[in-house]
Amino acid sequence: MTSKKARNSLVIVSLVFVAFLVFALARDIHLNGIHIYTLGAIAPDLALPGGAMVPIRIILEVDGMSIFMGIIWATVSLAAAIFSLSHMARETGQTRFYTLLLLMVAGCFGMILTGDLFNLFVFLEIASISGAALIAFRTRFADAVEGGFKYIVISAVAGLMFLFAVGLLYGQYNSLNIGYLANVMQYGTLDMIALTLFLISLTIKTGMVPLHMWYPDSYTVAPANITAMLVITSHACMYAVFRICFTLYGITLDATTVGWIIIIIGLLTMFVGVTMAVFQTDVMRFMSYHAISQMGYMWMGVGVGLAVLGNPEALATYGRDAISGGIFHILNHAMYKPLLFMTAGALFHRTGTRDLNKMGGLGHNMKFTLILYIIGTLSIAGIPPLNGFASKFLIYESVYQFNPVLAVVAMLVSIITLASFTKAFQSAFTGPQLPEYKDVKEVPKPMLIGMGILAAGIIFTSIFPGLIVERIVKPATDALINQAAYVNGIMGGMP
């Protein structure tokens, strides 16, 4: 038994150490600007050695937006690892489970912190392969293996299309570095084809609406904490879309057309997601349809900002606030959606079923889970004291100035979200206590600690929303809009 304790403590200690390093780096970047790191050179920031014109070697480049995603991922992966100490305790092969979990953490961090297009592809594939193996981990369930198979097929096709687009850009400009490509990009026909391939391949992985059929099937059958980590992986693919649209192409692309395409994607995603979620009976499937619908808010907010990118006074009036709203919604969603998935996992851990028709009256026994579920529901529906309201209000008031119809649809979707979550709450927790659940106890302590970390983050953001927006979200927005700072980090002021 000592080897089991050693393995568990190694995993938790290394994740705590990584979280500490990420927070230290965040403080350094907010004080000192963009940092780069060249792998294998004489000194870490020597991107152009010996007077070369083109940056050589793989360069990692971290600015405000990258470290924002890094903070989210460090927190959620620590909470998910603590949750799995007792949720997966009855499975065999646990050493392999923790190996795959640490591989997935490394893959997603590589995707967030890199400044090189091919490096992004390699880490995207690492995160996809380990994610698919983790979804199909409990091989005694037939639908778990089917969900994992769908995930790996979609990820393989998306990754290969991404590689095709990287090959197109490499053949024209002979470099793979994002900063250098942003400097020499001319928007020809081949670059338009490459942009289309990039957008399609990355938005398939985030669950965009015409191609979202695989998303509920895969996220329902995974263990609950793995679904929490996979939601953040799809956020990282959304981050890759923003990096390509704002930093790699920048002013040269046709901002109005691409911005409107992203806005229409956001509208469809919001609406279809929430209408499919209303009549589900499986609690994890219900929550994954809501995850699709909340991504639509982020697409819409940042799409409005992209559509006015070439228009300086509209950008200063409401464009910056729209992008800030979208990015703040990423932060809030990354805190309440994993919490909701973990409460569904807690229900499954104690009752052995995911069907809402069979559960009932569990609020008498599982009091802490009830409180955490209420915090998550109030946050996702946008009820005033909690943080969901702050980010949704920022999106409503800036999108309304762009086009009023979008804000009205967004408010309607929010109302339907609240209605469906109330129905799920009533059928799972309230009501008379059923005889087969009479001696169901509360979930074990590690699961409560994991959920408690996320709930503490929600309450902190609800009490000080202005502080979070000033210190974390505003530097991320400025880093996205300011393409010249990213290029100067690599080229060092050369023309």
Partner 1 sequence: MMEYIPLNFPFLAAALLVGISFYILIFKRNLIKLIMGIGMLASGVNLFLVALGYRAGGNAPIYTDVPEGPMVLPVPQALTLTSIVINVAVLALMLTMVILIYRHTGSLDSEKSRKMKG
Partner 2 sequence: MLSKIVRTVANQLILFILIFGLYVIAHGHLTPGGGFQGGAVIVSGVVMLLVAFSSQELKKSLRERLLSITESTGALIFSILAFAGIGTVFFYNFLVGTPIFGRIPATGPGPGNIWTGGFIPLMNLAVGLKVVAGLSAVVLAMALFSSGEEIEE
Question: Where do contacts with partner 1 occur on this chain (CB under 8 A)?
Answer: 118, 122, 125, 129, 132-133, 136, 139, 142-143, 145-149, 152-153, 156-157, 159-160, 163-164, 166-167, 170-171, 176, 217, 220-221, 280, 285
Answer yes or no whether residue 39 interacts with partner 2 by CB under 8 A: yes
Which one of residues 18, 36, 38, 243 is an interface residue with partner 2 (CB under 8 A)? 38
Q: Residue 357's binding partner, choosing from partner 2, partner 1, none, with beta-carbon cut-off 5 to 8 A by kind? A: none
Helix (H, G, I), strand (E, B) or coil at 385: coil
Beta-bridge mates of residue 116: 177
Q: Residue 38's binding partner, choosing from partner 2, partner 1, none, with beta-carbon cut-off 5 to 8 A by kind? A: partner 2
Any residues with CB less than 8 A from the CB of 463 and at least 6 apart, and which? none
User: Quick count: other Cβ atoms within 10 Å of Cβ 87?
Assistant: 24
- Minimum distance of partner 2 from residue 417's CB (angstroms): 43
Any residues with CB less than 8 A from the CB of 107 and at least 6 apart, and which? 123, 124, 125, 126, 127, 128, 130
Which one of residues 12, 16, 19, 41 is an interface residue with partner 2 (CB under 8 A)? 41
Answer yes or no whether residue 49 interacts with partner 2 by CB under 8 A: no
- Please report, as a single letter, which amino acid is at residue 324: S
- Minimum distance of partner 2 from residue 45's CB (angstroms): 10
Cβ nearer to partner 1, comparing 122 with 264: 122
Answer yes or no whether residue 42 interacts with partner 2 by CB under 8 A: yes
Measured in whole angstroms, how far is the alpha carbon of residue 91 from the centre of its chain? Answer: 28
- Minimum distance of partner 2 from residue 57's CB (angstroms): 9
- Minimum distance of partner 2 from residue 93's CB (angstroms): 6
Q: What CA–CA distances, in Å, run from 318 to 235, 238, 307?
A: 24, 22, 11
Contact 346, 422 (CB under 8 A): no
Which one of residues 7, 12, 19, 37 is an interface residue with partner 2 (CB under 8 A)? 37
Cβ nearer to partner 2, comparing 93 with 385: 93
Answer yes or no whether residue 1 interacts with partner 2 by CB under 8 A: no
Q: Which residue has the tokens 């209408």?
A: 275
Dihedral over alpha carbons 61, 123, 174, 483 (to 10 degrees): -30
Q: What CA–CA distances, in Å, run from 183 to 53, 63, 352?
A: 12, 17, 56
Q: Residue 39's binding partner, choosing from partner 2, partner 1, none, with beta-carbon cut-off 5 to 8 A by kind? A: partner 2
Q: Mark 71-100 with x for binding to partner 2 (rule: CB under 8 A) and - for no binding.
A: ---------------------xx-x-----
Cβ nearer to partner 2, comparing 60 with 434: 60
Q: Residue 22's binding partner, choosing from partner 1, partner 2, none, with beta-carbon cut-off 5 to 8 A by kind? A: none
Q: Residue 122's binding partner, choosing from partner 1, partner 2, none, with beta-carbon cut-off 5 to 8 A by kind? A: partner 1
H or E segment and range at residue 414: helix 404-428
Which one of residues 44, 171, 210, 492 is an interface residue with partner 2 (CB under 8 A)? 44
Task: Please classify residue 425 by burial: count the beta carbons closer than 10 Å to its beta carbon, then call 0-12 exposed, 13-18 middle and 19+ buried.
Answer: middle
Alpha-carbon distance of 18 to 274, in angstroms, equals 36
Q: What CA–CA distances, in Å, run from 322 to 17, 305, 396, 408, 476?
A: 34, 6, 8, 15, 13
Q: Residue 41's binding partner, choosing from partner 2, partner 1, none, with beta-carbon cut-off 5 to 8 A by kind? A: partner 2
Q: What CA–CA distances, in Å, run from 298 to 283, 328, 374?
A: 24, 9, 23
Q: Residue 160's binding partner, choosing from partner 2, partner 1, none, with beta-carbon cut-off 5 to 8 A by kind? A: partner 1
Q: Residue 49's binding partner, choosing from partner 1, partner 2, none, with beta-carbon cut-off 5 to 8 A by kind? A: none
Question: By the criterion CB under 8 A, which residues form the site for partner 2?
Answer: 37-44, 92-93, 95
